[in-house]
Amino acid sequence: MRFLKNVGGEAAGEATPPLDIVVTRQDVTDEASFRGSGVLELYEALFPLSERDSSDDIVRWVLSEDLGERRQFALGDRLLSYCLDSRCFILRAAERAIGLGFFTCDHTSHLIFCNYVGVAPAWRGGGLARAFYREMVDMLDELCPRNIGVVLEVEPFDRDHLETVIADLEQIGRRQLEAHEAATIRKFLRVCWYHKLGYRFFCDAATARPLQCRSPCLDPALPPTEWVGAEEDYWLMWHARESAAPAPSSAGELWRQAVEAIYVEILAKSLVDEDPHRRRGYWDYATALVAETLQRTAVAEVTLARYLGPDDSPLLSRWRRLAIDLPI
């Protein structure tokens, strides 16, 4: 357990109770304690159903499966292996969850994948979310001492559409956002927040736009004819660990490692391992999609850069002046 100091939330104007952080398999060691913390209820409140993993799957990953031990399974005449360490960090006030972070370390690439981070809306003042995130990363450096940095997915958005949405809101005045408007603004605000933490995009140097990758369907149990329709497009952001050694030889090589870590080592292998005999077709589908992404981006000169630069700061200021409450 660690205490979070010198930050505080709003907590309905009341005195802020001591805030602490506990982590699975270190402070929270059994399912009853994990569920009893309130973290899963918070998770369901913070993220829409379309973005959530099964609560039962999360319990299984963080407590009994992704233990930092190498796992093997046979796929036809091939023997495949992977080694993951998943942790859920719980930020608590009066022993009740008010924030969460779910990370997976891939011991093959030594990359950490950020699955989810969130803080309850009433506790987002005073720089709490940023302090919580930085404390989690420090703890991950201790738990996974060979890690070289953190990678995460963000949903792509169109900058021109973003400006149109904000301009329309300014003309009409404060109102309820349409679903497509809220989705665009959320994507923008999430990127702004990660930029403040020091994250950069994997970008094509020629276009200065983020490289796009495509996530395989997350549910192998669906009929194979439905897998393509369940795919999602993402941009990847990266934050290097300052003390990491050796550093990747190039941004292009790091891009390849990140794509393979997320979609092969963490996603495909763990899903296929649940039922290798029945999911051989899913393995072929998922790995082919990853190979397609890497082949499509192989000709690009990859660089790590901000997508939202100084010219976008006025957009953020204009959004804030609208004073519309939109949790991200």
- Is residue 56's pLDDT more than 80? yes
- pTM for the full predicted model: 0.91
- Is residue 64's pLDDT more than 50? yes
Whole-number pLDDT of residue 249: 65
CA 326 – CA 295 distance, rounded (Å): 38
Residues 176-188 pLDDT 10s = 788 888 889 999 9
Indicate whether 159 and 254 sit together in one domain.
yes
Indicate whether 197 and 130 sit together in one domain.
no
Residues 82-126 pLDDT 10s = 999 999 999 999 999 999 999 999 999 999 999 999 999 889 877
Indicate whether 142 and 153 sit together in one domain.
no
- Is residue 47's pLDDT more than 70? yes
Indicate whether 250 and 117 sit together in one domain.
no
Domain range for 302 is 149-328
Residues 202-261 pLDDT 10s = 999 999 999 999 999 999 999 999 999 999 999 999 999 987 655 556 899 999 999 999
Mean pLDDT lowest among 197-206, 240-249, 319-328:
240-249
- Is residue 43's pLDDT more than 60? yes
CATH number of the domain residue 122 falls in = 3.40.630
Indicate whether 164 and 295 sit together in one domain.
yes
What is the number of domains present in the chain?
Answer: 2
Indicate whether 109 and 205 sit together in one domain.
no
Residue found under tokens 């391992």 = 273
Indicate whether 170 and 129 sit together in one domain.
no
Indicate whether 34 and 68 sit together in one domain.
yes
Indicate whether 9 and 82 sit together in one domain.
yes
Whole-number pLDDT of residue 11: 44
Q: Tell me the three-class secondary structure of the chain, residue by residue.
A: CEEECCCCCCHHHCCCCCEEEEEECCCECCHHHHHHCCHHHHHHHHCCHHHCCCHHHHHHHHHHHCECCCEEEEECCEEEEECEEEEEEEEEECCEEEEEEEEEEECCCCEEEEEEEEECHHHCCCCHHHHHHHHHHHHHHHHCCCCCEEEEEECCCCHHHHHHHHHHHHHHCCCCCCHHHHHHHHHHHHHHHHHHCCCEEEEECCCCEECEEEECCCCCCCCHHHCHHHCEEEEEEEEECCCCCCCCCCHHHHHHHHHHHHHHHHHHHHHHHCCCCCCHHHHHHHHHHHHHHHHHHCCCCEEEECCCCHHHHHHHHHHHHHCCCCCC
